[in-house]
């Protein structure tokens, strides 16, 4: 059985996230349908993670297995010809039959983009936040999230996953030209976790004792105590490492 790994980019604006759902248009469904047209068979397309509705990807990883030997250049060209303009297969390669894009992933990195002025060019891909941002202070407070912790307070209430422990490796705030970029890396992420972390950190710099507040949020294991999630449109799955 041949196993093929793909790197995928997509604009998530018009999609209900990665994962196939009933009565909704998703990235996984669009790609699976396109593959079926070419191969004349259904495949199990496995993604490295489930991006939420409206979230984008610069480096989503997925794999599928088939008995067919593919001409990789021709297959990639054909697939991109069928897919809508807001989804693109950046690369495809044959990998070990046991490779699993989700379970073999060691590190996932997201980027969150913030603009501090109204821009018609960034409006679909960033969070317009005109209030003062102290990047130095945010980087200090971000250190409180690093390590293996219970992130129950930072995932959606209806999350079905029982294990809420994640190993967070890095949160880095920086200025890149007109944008403020938040880079977050972890072994895994819960549903809505990145957006809740960014929202909580933005909330924390407005209050008197931010360190105490963040500690209380973790200890409470209560999503309502954390900050409001920032909009999905500013979030990008940047890369997945194996």
Task: Specify whether 52 is catalytic.
Answer: yes
Coil, strand or helix at 36: helix
The distance from CA 139 to its chain's CA centroid, rounded to whole angstroms, is: 21
230-to-5, 112, 154, 201 alpha-carbon distances in Å: 31, 9, 12, 11
C-alpha span between 164 and 45 (Å, rounded): 25
Of these residues, 11, 42, 52, 69, which one is catalytic? 52
Instruction: Render the burial of 216-231: b for 16+ CB within 10 Å, e for the rest.
Output: ebbeeeebeebbebbb
H or E element at residue 200: helix 193-204
Catalytic residues: 52
């Amino acid at each position: 059985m041949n196993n093929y790994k793909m790197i995928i980019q997509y604009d998530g604006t018009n999609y209900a996230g990665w994962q196939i759902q009933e009565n909704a248009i998703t990235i996984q469904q669009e790609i699976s349908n396109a593959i079926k047209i070419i191969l004349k068979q259904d495949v199990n397309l496995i993604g490295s993670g489930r991006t939420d509705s409206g979230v984008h990807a610069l480096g989503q990883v997925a794999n599928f297995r088939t008995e067919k030997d593919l001409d990789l250049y021709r297959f990639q060209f054909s697939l991109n010809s069928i897919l809508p303009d807001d989804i693109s297969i950046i690369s495809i390669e044959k990998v070990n039959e046991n490779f699993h894009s989700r379970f073999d992933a060691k590190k996932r990195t997201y980027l969150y983009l913030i603009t501090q002025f109204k821009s018609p060019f960034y409006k679909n891909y960033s969070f317009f936040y005109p209030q003062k941002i102290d990047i130095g202070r945010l980087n200090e407070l971000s250190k409180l999230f690093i390590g293996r912790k219970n992130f129950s307070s930072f995932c959606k209430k209806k999350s079905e996953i029982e294990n809420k422990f994640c190993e967070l490796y890095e949160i880095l705030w920086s200025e890149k030209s007109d944008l403020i970029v938040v880079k977050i890396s972890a072994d895994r992420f819960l549903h809505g976790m990145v957006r809740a972390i960014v929202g909580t950190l933005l909330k924390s710099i407005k209050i008197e004792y931010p360190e105490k507040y963040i500690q209380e949020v973790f200890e409470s294991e209560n999503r309502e105590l954390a900050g409001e999630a920032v909009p999905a449109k500013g979030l990008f799955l940047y890369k997945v490492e194996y």
